Amino acid sequence: MAAKAGLPADFEWGFATAAYQIEGAVAEDGRGKSIWDTFCHLEPTRTKGADGDVACNHYHRFEEDFDLLTRYGAKAYRFSISWSRLIPLGGRDDPVNEAGIAFYNRLIDALLKRGITPWVTLYHWDLPQGLHDRYGGWLDVEESQKDFERYARLCYERFGDRVKNWITLNEPWIQSIFGYSTGGNAPGRSSTNEQSAEGDSTTEPWIVGKALIMSHARAVAAYNQDFRDTQQGQIGISLNGDFYEPWDPEDERDHAAAERRMQFHIGWFANPIFLKEDYPACMREQLGARLPAFTADDFTVLRAAETDFYGMNYYTSQFARHRDGPPSPTDYVGHVDELQQDKAGTPVGEESGLHWLRSCPGMFRKHLTRVHALYGKPVYVTENGCPCPGEDEMTRDEAVDDPFRIRYFDTHLDAVCKSVKEDGADIKGYFAWSLLDNLEWSDGYGPRFGVTFTDYDTLERTPKKSALLLKSMFAQRQGIEVVG
Ligand code: PNW
């Protein structure tokens, strides 16, 4: 036990999900449509024929799902609220749907009854379609931040007596780039994707990025001004981003490429939000005026938005190689090649069940330590997990035996321990992605990230072995005795 110990007894841990990936019940109790409802029903399909109409039917089965959390020993649970369940049309002057409020009240109370701490994400990519139709959604920086602030305030007012952990946005990078540059995610706008008729990949992702940064800031400023004293909670944001090492460790230009790639992933959002300064210099240099500026008024809002923690969504790492010549106007990675092996041919990590995800625990440790050092806030790992190789083709009985996932969790938890114990980083919690196999966005129901197997014909849930082991993996590292 002592060999593994390293995490404090109050280390927060549990499982994470997102509304559209699990809830279903998209037309029930007054819910309005989101951009993902629209995107999943486009023809020809851009989501492998999949949609979230039923998903895991968590809307009607949450009690059963929370019994699983109890069985797994989870202390905390991260879920997201569907904006269009609370405000079907989304806007600050649009009506509130009391049935939507009641659903999340039941959800929160069902967690508290089991002694599980709710962690609430306000926005996990499901913008109300009404706002997209009304003014272009996130493309309107001024309107969208006002509507998001009002939605956030509604959540604090109605749920903040019981919810003390808030995450404003999930992965603004994915929302901006996949939604408005490559067009792989809703709303699917792109000038480089032949399935997309609308969009401008040279400008729109950078406008949307600013809208998301300002929306985060307005939501945090509102919490700080009007709710923090009475509710005593904390608020953060979940940013994705891989760790990068130079493809050729002998080449200074590849060292610079790796650093630049991470700035394009994380610094884009973390500089304005945590450092309260402009975007990273390398982004300004490459993108020029296409990167919208922050005004003096914007900085006033950013400074009022002291954010409590950095939520880290981490899955994998890569190598970066510098590119010669001028960057393409549609480049969003900082003019680098991204590779899964280095110059010597050494792979970055073991292959999982998804092409973009390799298991790289050593680089996870570096990533944790780097992010903590750069942005100076406590870090909660708000997502980490993987599908096992071949899992999408397996039967239930095969899939519940998941040694690859067990090893992934075990080695990644070791990385957390080392970052805490040896590098001195302040890492306070960890959420495994995900509680259930669920809708993996444009990849449909193929990749299985769950610790619980979902049978999509019957919706029956079956725990995988990894689900039942996490409790002892944490206890071991926290120096807690586990009985049974
Ligand atoms: C995250 N990539 O998305 C999301 O927050 C989850 O909703 C999702 O299910 C999970 O990770 C697994 O994919 C990502 O291509 C999607 O690097 C794609 C990437 C990273 C994160």
- The DSSP code sequence of 344-382 is T--BSSEE-SSTT-EE-HHHHHHHHHHHHHHH-S-EEEE
Confidence of residue 480 (pLDDT cuts 50, 70, 90): confident
Mean per-residue pLDDT, 379-385: 99
Above 60 in pLDDT, residue 3?
A: no
For the chain, what percent of residues have pLDDT higher than 90? 98
Please choose from 121, 124, 174 the residue to mutate so as to test ligand 1's pocket, defined by most ligand atoms within 8 A of CB: 174
Strand 379-383 to 165-170 pairing: unpaired
CA of 315 to the centre of ligand 1 (A): 8
Report the pLDDT value the prediction gives residue 2, as an integer from 0 to 100. Answer: 43
Above 60 in pLDDT, residue 484?
A: no
Q: Whose CA is nearest to atom 18 of ligand 1?
A: 174
Strand 452-454 to 76-80 pairing: unpaired
Specify whether the CB–CB gap between 453 and 464 falls below 8 A: yes
Residues with CB under 6 A from ligand 1: 18, 21, 170-171, 174, 240, 313, 315, 356, 383, 433, 440, 449
Report the pLDDT value the prediction gives residue 6, as an integer from 0 to 100. Answer: 87
The upper half-sphere exposure of residue 392, i.e. CA atoms within 13 Å in the direction of its Cβ, equals 14
CA of 385 to the centre of ligand 1 (A): 10
Specify the ligand 1 atom closest to the Cα of 242: 17
Specify the ligand 1 atom closest to the Cα of 433: 10
pTM: 0.98
Q: Whose CA is nearest to atom 15 of ligand 1?
A: 356
Above 70 in pLDDT, residue 1?
A: no
Confidence of residue 482 (pLDDT cuts 50, 70, 90): confident
The rounded mean pLDDT for the chain is: 97
Residue 418 DSSP SS3: helix
Tens digit of each residue's pLDDT (9 = 90 or more) over 13-70: 999 999 999 999 999 999 999 999 999 999 999 999 999 999 999 999 999 999 999 9
Any idea which residues carry the catalytic annotation?
A: 171, 383
Above 80 in pLDDT, residue 274?
A: yes
CA of 326 to the centre of ligand 1 (A): 30
For the chain, what percent of residues have pLDDT higher than 70? 99
Q: Within 87-171, where are the H helices?
A: 98-113, 129-135, 141-159
Above 80 in pLDDT, residue 4?
A: no
Tens digit of each residue's pLDDT (9 = 90 or more) over 117-163: 999 999 999 999 999 999 999 999 999 999 999 999 999 999 999 99
Specify whether the CB–CB gap between 353 and 389 falls below 8 A: yes
Please choose from 80, 185, 312, 315 the residue to mutate so as to test ligand 1's pocket, defined by most ligand atoms within 8 A of CB: 315
